[in-house]
Copies of this chain bind each other. A is one copy, B any other.
Amino acid sequence: MGNKNISMAVIRRLPKYYRYLADLLSKDIQRISSKELSDIIGFTASQIRQDLNNFGGFGQQGYGYNVEALHREIGKILGLDKKYNAILVGAGNLGQALTNYSGFKNAGFDIKAVFDANPKIIGLKLRDYEIMDSDKLEEYIVEHNVDIAILCIPKNGAQDVADKIVNAGVKGIWNFAPIDLEVPNHVIVESVNLTESLFTLSYLMKEDNEI
Give the A interface residue count (CB, 8 A): 60
A73-84 interface bits toward B, Cβ cutoff 8 Å, 1 = contact, 0 = none:
000011110101
Could you mark each residue 146-178 of chain A with 1 if its beta carbon is under 8 Å from any beta carbon of chain B, else 0? 011000000000000000000000011010001
User: Which residues of the other chain, B, contact A44 by a CB distance below 8 angstroms?
Assistant: none
Give the CA-CA distance A205 to B85 in the complex, in Å.
13
Given contacts A97-B96, A211-B3, contact A104 B15 (CB under 8 A): no
Query: What is the bound-complex CA distance between A198 and B192, given in angstroms?
Result: 9
Is A62 close to B, CB under 8 A? Answer: no
Q: Chain B residue with minimal CB distance to A190? A: B201
Is B104 within 8 A of A210, CB to CB? Answer: no
Known interface pairs A80-B199, A204-B172; A19-B178 also in contact (CB < 8 Å): yes
Establish whether residues B200 and A190, one from each chain, have CB atoms under 8 Å apart when the complex forms: yes
Partner of A192, one of B14, B42, B174, B192: B192
The interface residues of chain B lying within 8 Å CB-to-CB of A47 are: none
Which one of A28-36, A106-114, A116-124, A135-143 is at the interface?
A106-114
* Contact partners of A206 in chain B: CB under 8 A: 78-79, 82
The 20 listed contacts between A and B (C-beta, < 8 Å) are A1-B210, A2-B210, A3-B207, A6-B207, A14-B203, A15-B200, A78-B202, A78-B206, A79-B203, A84-B205, A93-B100, A94-B97, A103-B194, A103-B195, A109-B198, A148-B201, A171-B205, A171-B208, A188-B208, A190-B198
Kindly list 9 other residue pairs between chains A and B, CB separation below 8 angstroms, not including A15-B196, A78-B199, A190-B204. Answer: A11-B204, A12-B200, A14-B203, A77-B203, A93-B101, A107-B195, A108-B202, A172-B201, A186-B208
